[in-house]
Amino acid sequence: MNRRKALENLRVVLVGTLYGGNVGSACRAMANCGVRELRLVAPDPGLTWEFAERMAVHATDILAERRTFATLAEAVADCVAVAGTSRRGGLYRRHFADSREVAPELLGLAETGPVALVFGREDKGLLNEELLLCTHVVQIPASPDYPSYNLAQSVLLLCHELYRAAAGPARNRELESSPPATADLRGRMLAKLRAYLLATGFMQEDNADHMMEGFGRVFARGVRTEADAKLVMGAVQQAGWALDAAKRRG
């Protein structure tokens, strides 16, 4: 696939957006960078669409063709990668990628299928349960004195990094015989894994979200660290204990 064509496989996803001006400005930023599809997740009912149209300027076609979804899971179900943006630290935000460093990887994935670039609410960003749907957590560098960008600015900065990556040298990627998994398929896989890990006693409901965040990271990037390897080994070991216990009971 032409690398500029891969830009057309990017999907900008705005979650819970409050202000029409930000939606319109995001459309203009997308058009600047060759990104054409906008998806909105549960936008604020009071959002002013007339203002959005004014701010979109010559990108009103992107605004007019927007798609709206009730949940983030529905919005990214067909995507082979989901990059959620976040400026905050915390339990689910420790393993983030720099926007410039991750851009070539995301563009490479966009050569295989749709890739979502997810931006949260103006007032509180993405919720932890929404970040669990993401294969990548991206941070856009900023001054620590004021690290929070405006929503439309964030869209422009990340899309521009991908535009720069499209203009640069192509990355070598190993060709797989099977197509990449969509977010919907990964979600169903992780749901089955969650049920299995609860049944074997590897985790309890009160720490399940934390543990599944770890498994989501492993499946997104592969086993890279000691913590990753120990997590997988612990799950397998617990499964062995559960099987032995079942045999003794039988």
**82 near 183, Cβ under 8 Å?**
yes
This prediction has a pTM of 0.79
Domain annotation for the chain: domains and CATH numbers: 3-167 (3.40.1280.10), 183-249 (no CATH)
C-beta neighbour count of 80 within 10 angstroms: 22
Q: What is the pLDDT along the chain (250 residues), one digit of tens a residue?
A: 677 789 999 999 999 999 999 999 999 999 999 999 999 999 999 999 999 999 999 999 999 999 999 999 999 999 999 999 998 665 545 568 899 999 999 999 999 999 999 999 999 999 988 988 998 999 999 998 998 899 999 999 999 999 999 987 655 555 566 777 888 988 888 888 889 889 888 889 998 888 888 888 787 767 767 787 788 888 888 888 888 888 888 7
Q: Is the dihedral of CA 102, 104, 109, 114 positive or negative?
A: positive
DSSP 69: E
Tokens of 66: 């927007």
92 DSSP 8-state letter: T
